[in-house]
Structure 1
Amino acid sequence: MPVAAAHVAGIVEELAPRRLAEEWDNPGWQLGDPRRLVKSVLVALDPAPAVLERARELGAELVVTHHPLVFRPLKHLRLDLPEEALAAAFLNAGIAVYSAHTNLDNAPGGTSDVLAARLGLEKVEVLAPREAEKLYKIVTFVPPEHVDAVHRALTAAGAGWIGNYSHCSFQVEGTGTFLPLEGTNPFIGRQGVLERVHEVRLETIVPAPKLGEAVSRMLKAHPYEEVAYDVYPLARAGQTYGLGRVGELAEALPLAAFAQQVKEALDLAGLWYSGDGGQPVRRVAVCGGSGASLAGRARAAGADVLVTGDVKYHEAQAARLGRLAVIDAGHAGTENPVITALTAHLKERLAAEGVQVSAYLAPPERRFC
């Protein structure tokens, strides 16, 4: 069964919520009809002509990219200008384009997290924190025989996650009282009779973006006609969002050896680095794409080296003066891993829903970086 293109975009936004995008960015729908039914999706780094041709070959109705097709507002749509002609070609082919850009960069499990994992970093932290997720606690009162069903409903909505632990909750038994009045249809008890019932207080934690869905699912699973529940804002913050990551290698390596390891891990034809090839590196900062502006953050975090792309000569020199080595593995080279991860995310979620929609990965261009 095909689904609307907007539904596929929603799955992308589960990983990369649009609210995490930088103000100057333009992620989201680039062109096409979000209502169109799709059976095939192609995921790519760029909305390039080769990607358009591949989408045509596959019969894909939707292309999901990292870099937006329309980055700056268009003042016209001229076919004698390359970028505008490409947009027109996508439209003429009936292929929609949706992009997840800096929202994917900032998201947990996004661009830099995937890059850090590919390079084998441990004890990974956000390099340039932007915001922390607000958390709430949901508390409700349930008959004992329905606790598991309500708990499952909350968990399915994304509640109950603490770090790498899921299904987290607290349950305590007690006595609830209520008096069903005229016009009620109580699940337990009779109109006009004060009831004392054995109930379980069920409480769990939920991030702000999933609060509405969690409450909705809880209400549907709860047996009571009128559900008593409380929602408390928590002072404790959830996951931190932001650009770049910093972590540690299992053991120190000479810079030159680590650069070779980066080249192999990212399947690059080449890269360049700035620094003494023999200096030991253990603490590593990474930022997929263009992250040279985070050199100061990397130094402050105690990093020995920054792995990123698009490093300018004077940026590398300034970093070296600050005793920070730099490895330029290319803009595309440091972002390609997240395209593979995004494709896997789509495949997993679409399969879990049982819909007949295929997700394909556009092969990356092999470049000298």
Structure 2
Amino acid sequence: MAEDWDPIGLQVGSLQKRIKKIMVTLDVIEPVIDEAIREGVDLIFAHHPLIFKPLKKINPDTSYGRTIQKLLKHDITLYAAHTNLDVAVGGVNDLLADKIGMTNTEVLVNRVEDQLKKLVVFVPETHADTVRNALGDAGAGFIGNYSHCSFNTPGTGTFLPNEGTNPHIGEQGTMEYVNEVKIETIFPMSIEKDVMSAMQKSHPYEEVAYDILKLDNKGKTFGIGRIGKPKDDVTVGELAKQLKETFNLQGLRVVGDLDKKVEKIAVSGGEGNDFISNAMFKGADVYISGDIKYHFAHEAWMEGMAIIDAGHNIEKVMIDGVGSILSDWLKSKNSDTEVYLSKAETDPFTFL
């Protein structure tokens, strides 16, 4: 789900390292690394990548070079989830929308479609229910609010077990005729690995006969930003004051009429200049983001849309959000790996 220019994933260290303590942070700067060293952290999960452009040198006389040197010296692995975490359900933009108090939210800018595929698998009648249920439990067959959807056709399967086989049914050298069921079900491409694993584990045959077909049907769409309604009646000025308190901000910048009633809010974490026009097109009364440039603000102002520039650092909501997701996942795996939430201040700006 990441943009193709985005250097997400492993940045420093090894994916084979055993992890006992994970730190979640927004930014990777030297004070954060020092905090990780003090806390005995093995893995840092960050939103903003440390290494954004190809490195030409690592100079420990600079803060950037020392940061990489400290990671390597103390055997700390660094992993980044950036635009993919912006796009993901439950990611940065959903966390921001929830924190702001938005309702009836939808994607602001479509970016990725989770393409639908069809699985056709042939199963002996005796195991059809087992395979169907396994596929449904893995996420296949979801259509709207219905799960475990499939179409089933009875038929006769034939096969001849040759030398070196260990057939579940029949014997080597003898043609077999088996009452089978052709099961057809759909699944989104993002869970293909899970669906295939469920099929293989639940199917009785040594060699499974199946087809995977790409469909023209539209899959679920994911994207940048969210747009929705405010929970309560509010003006632009009142909303700005709420944001200042909610995100514990020293200050923020507002474009437009402070007394304007807000009926629709758009939000995008990080630098949001590229999506102002999308917010206007979808009827937002106010657009909340960070790092808004002067001339982009002019355009919105002249078009009558308000902007609240709350700063890039509001994305720090991902620390608690990702921390909670990781903790729940580790608990489900009966893991004793600890999740630590970074407390280091990473906002470079001070308001006077």
TM-score range, shorter chain: 0.7 to 0.9
Q: CA RMSD in A?
A: 2.7
Q: Which residue of 2 aligns with 1:354?
A: 334
Query: 2:137–2:148: 8 Å Cα contact kept in structure 1?
Result: no
- Cα deviation for residue 177 of structure 1 reads 3.9
Which of 214, 219, 222 aligns to 1:233? It is 214
- Cα deviation for residue 107 of structure 1 reads 2.7
Q: SS where residue 52 of structure 2 aligns?
A: coil
Q: Which residue of 2 aligns with 1:69?
A: 50
- Cα deviation for residue 101 of structure 1 reads 1.4
1:135-168 C-alpha deviation (Å, 9 max, x unpaired): 10112243455344323433454434446x5743
The number of equivalent residue pairs is 347
Q: SS where residue 26 of structure 1 aligns?
A: coil
User: Which runs of no fewer than 5 residues in structure 2 stay unpaired?
Assistant: none
Q: Which residue of 2 aligns with 1:217?
A: 198
Which of 276, 286, 294 aligns to 1:305? It is 286
Query: 1:248–1:282: 8 Å Cα contact kept in structure 2?
Result: yes
Q: Which residue of 2 aligns with 1:37?
A: 18
User: Given the alignment of the two structures, is residue 139 of structure 1 paired with residue 120 of structure 2, yes or no?
Assistant: yes
Which of 317, 331, 337 aligns to 1:337? It is 317
In structure 2, relative to structure 1, the CA distance for the partners of 1:42 and 1:151 (3 Å cut) is: farther
Q: Which residue of 1 aligns with 2:132?
A: 151
Q: Which amino acid in 1 is paired with 2:105? A: V
Q: Which residue of 1 aligns with 2:184?
A: 203
Q: Distance in 1 between matches of 2:35 and 2:6?
A: 26
Q: Which residue of 2 aligns with 1:8?
A: none
Q: Which amino acid in 2 is paired with 1:328? A: D
Q: Which amino acid in 2 is paired with 1:195? A: Y
Q: Which amino acid in 2 is paired with 1:348? A: D
Q: Which residue of 2 aligns with 1:119?
A: 100
User: Given the alignment of the two structures, is residue 247 of structure 1 paired with residue 218 of structure 2, yes or no?
Assistant: no
- Give the share of equivalent positions with the same residue, in percent: 38
- Cα deviation for residue 304 of structure 1 reads 0.8
Q: Which residue of 2 aligns with 1:10?
A: none
Query: 1:172–1:202: 8 Å Cα contact kept in structure 2?
Result: yes
Q: Which residue of 2 aligns with 1:363?
A: 343
Q: Which amino acid in 2 is paired with 1:343? A: G
User: Normalising to structure 2: TM-score of the pair?
Assistant: 0.87
User: Normalising to structure 1: TM-score of the pair?
Assistant: 0.84
- Cα deviation for residue 311 of structure 1 reads 1.6
In structure 2, relative to structure 1, the CA distance for the partners of 1:358 and 1:209 (3 Å cut) is: same
Query: 1:180–1:186: 8 Å Cα contact kept in structure 2?
Result: no
- Cα deviation for residue 35 of structure 1 reads 2.0
Q: Which residue of 2 aligns with 1:48?
A: 29
User: Which runs of no fewer than 5 residues in structure 1 stay unpaired?
Assistant: 1-19
Q: Which residue of 2 aligns with 1:15?
A: none
Query: 2:35–2:344: 8 Å Cα contact kept in structure 1?
Result: no
Q: Distance in 1 between matches of 2:275 and 2:228?
A: 15
Q: Which residue of 2 aligns with 1:178?
A: 158
1:206-242 C-alpha deviation (Å, 9 max, x unpaired): 2223324422330221013443323221112222233
